[in-house]
Structures are given as structure tokens and as C-alpha cells.
Structure 1
Amino acid sequence: MALVLEWTNEQEAREISDTLINQLQQLLQIAGREEQIELGEVTLTFVNNDQIQELNRNYRGMDKPTDVLSFPMREEGADEMKILYGDLETISDDEDVMEGWFGEEQIGDIVISIPKAIEQAEEYGHSFEREVGFLFVHGFLHLIGYDHQTEEDEARMTEKQEKVLQEAGLTR
């Protein structure tokens, strides 16, 4: 199994073109290579603002629409790794773990609000495709453990995002 993107469209604000999907697949390959992740599946869902607001409220306690949400399928604790997809499975330090952190597992889900992406592309003065690409890479980095709670973490994440987008030709 390679690094795979599965996607669904649950919104009607904008048609999702094959060109956009091909671009997102390219971004996934670049980001995966940069982070040394060769195997796994990322599920992407395009939604409207009401749908993402409901998810944001239910999972983050924030009752407002947002642009992107990430739901990692694995969390690693001090003594165990939980696979949060299908049945919960615990792998202790004493057991053999598959080669590579993700193996052939589901890496996680990314949800992008297309109306928010349209709005932000206009606000930032760049293309819709660049905005969706940015949101996708941002979401992917969250799936694999990056965050931006501190200024240092945000700077590191921003640098990684920009490097992937630059390589794909999605400049501002």
C-alpha cells in the first residue's frame, strides 16, 4: 500500500474538479516524503459551514465554523499506541510494532469547509486551489502530530507547509 488519498464531497458551494484532487494527491506525496511517511491512507471530506460548525462544536467545544479539522486515527502515549480506527487495539512496548509509525493503517481524516476556503482565498488574495492545498497540508501535519500551540511550533509548522506548497508550485 502506498500513501493514498480517499475523498468525498458533501457540499454544494463549489464543484470539486479532478485537477484539484490531483493537486491534493501530489501535496500528500510531497508532504509524506518530507515527513518520511510512505504508507497509509488519508480521508478527506469537503463540507459546508454548517457541517464543519457541528463537528467543531461536538469535538472541540467551539460553536462556530472553522476552515479545517483533523482527526488523527493514532495517538501515541508514554507506554502504548492506540489505533483509533475500527476496534481499539493497544500495542504495548513489549509487542512487535509494524515497521513505520503508520504502516498500512488509516492515518486520519481531514475535513475542509469549502465556503471558508473560498472566503479565505479572496481575503488573502490567492487562488482557491492554493487555499485548499494549504488547508489540506495543514490538516495532514496535524494528523501526524504537529501543532501550533506555541510560537515555535507555529513557525515550524508554517515552514513545513510553505515548503510543501512551494514544491507543488502553489505560491501566493
Structure 2
Amino acid sequence: MRLLCDEERIPQQGAMLLGTLEQAAVLCLKEEGIPDERVEISLSFVSMEEIHQLNKMYRQVDRPTDVLSFPMIEDFNEIDWEDEEEEILLGDVVICLEQAQKQAEEYGHSQMREIVYLFVHSVLHLLGYDHMEESDKVQMRQQEELIMDALDLKRSV
């Protein structure tokens, strides 16, 4: 599992955060039975203004958001998992650090926990999860909790 990230925009937790995000991605992939050795995910940390523009451009929602996901794979059945040479770009994750900090304060946990949660949420979107229907939302939330618990980043009570 490779996490492609702009080194200049990594939050202060740096290497520790990236290691936890890679571990989270591996757990998400493992839960889906996907071998992680050749998978890549692009990760960008952006400002409130940048995510607002992206949200407006790609979702036609004229306001900032916390995280955006841009999946690259439509049908996982079309992937040749046996081809050891081919790198598989799962997609792009864009996280707004300013919004993550606001939400961390609102929910009473660390910015790191919030960033990891947003990343897990986004990786699940890259894997085809959604939360438009209530049953899908329940399933996605269960997966998020499973991964966050495995990382020992449980929700504050």
C-alpha cells in the first residue's frame, strides 16, 4: 500500500500520521479481501477555500466540506489481482485540515483522530461504500467503527 502525498502540506503529526493512515488503508483493503501490496491512494491536504472550490466544481455544492473522495475504479471485478506488475490507483482523497480541526474540537477528540476518521470514511467511498440509503449508511458506519477500533482510535463518549 502506497500513500501518495504532498510532503509540504502534511500536518504537524507528519510521519506518525502518515503511518497511521497507511495502516488504516491496509485494514480497509483487508476487510474487503483486496491485496494491498500494489494499491496506491493519492492524498491531499487543502485549505477551506480549496475544498470549497472542489466541492462546488465536482459536486455542485457551494460550500466547504471536510473530505472529498474521487474513486478511480468502477468495477473491482475487472482488476487482475494476479498481475504483480500493475499498480492499482484506488483514487484520490482530499482532506480540509481547517475543517478537520473544527470538527475535532466539536466532537472532543484530537485532530489526528478526526483526520484518520475522515481518511477511513473516504477510503471506504473509494471501495464503493456509500451512505445515501439508511441501510448503506449503517453498513458504512459499521466498517468505519471496525477500522477505527482496530487502530485504537475509538470515538470519545
Q: Shorter-chain TM-score category? A: 0.7 to 0.9
Alignment of 1:6-155 (within 5 A): 6-8=4-6, 14-38=11-35, 39-76=38-75, 98-99=80-81, 104-155=87-138
Q: Which has the higher strand share?
A: 1
| Deviation, structure 1 residue 11 | 5.1
**Native 8 Å contact 1:9 1:47 kept in 2:** no
Which has more radius of gyration? 1
SS of 2:123's partner is helix
| Deviation, structure 1 residue 15 | 2.8
1:38-86 CA-to-partner distances (Å, cap 9, x unmatched) read: 131101100011000100000000010000000011223xxx96xxxxx
Worse overlay, 128-137 or 29-38: 29-38
Tell me the C-alpha RMSD between the 2 structures: 2.1
| Deviation, structure 1 residue 30 | 1.2
Q: Partner of 1:170 in structure 2?
A: 153
**Native 8 Å contact 2:68 2:122 kept in 1:** yes
**Native 8 Å contact 1:10 1:45 kept in 2:** no
- In 1, the alpha carbon distance for the partners of 2:107 and 2:7 equals 24
Counterpart pick for 2:140 among 152, 157, 166:
157
- In 1, the alpha carbon distance for the partners of 2:7 and 2:27 equals 23
Identity of aligned residues (%): 41
Aligned partner letter, 2:56: R
**Native 8 Å contact 2:13 2:112 kept in 1:** no
Matched residue pairs, number? Answer: 150
Q: Partner of 1:87 in structure 2?
A: none
- In 2, the alpha carbon distance for the partners of 1:33 and 1:11 equals 28
Q: Which has the higher helix share?
A: 2
SS of 1:75's partner is coil
- In 2, the alpha carbon distance for the partners of 1:26 and 1:139 equals 14
- In 2, the alpha carbon distance for the partners of 1:114 and 1:35 equals 28
Which runs of 4 or more aligned residues in structure 1 lie more than 3 Å from their structure 2 counterparts after TM superposition? 9-12
**Native 8 Å contact 1:11 1:48 kept in 2:** no
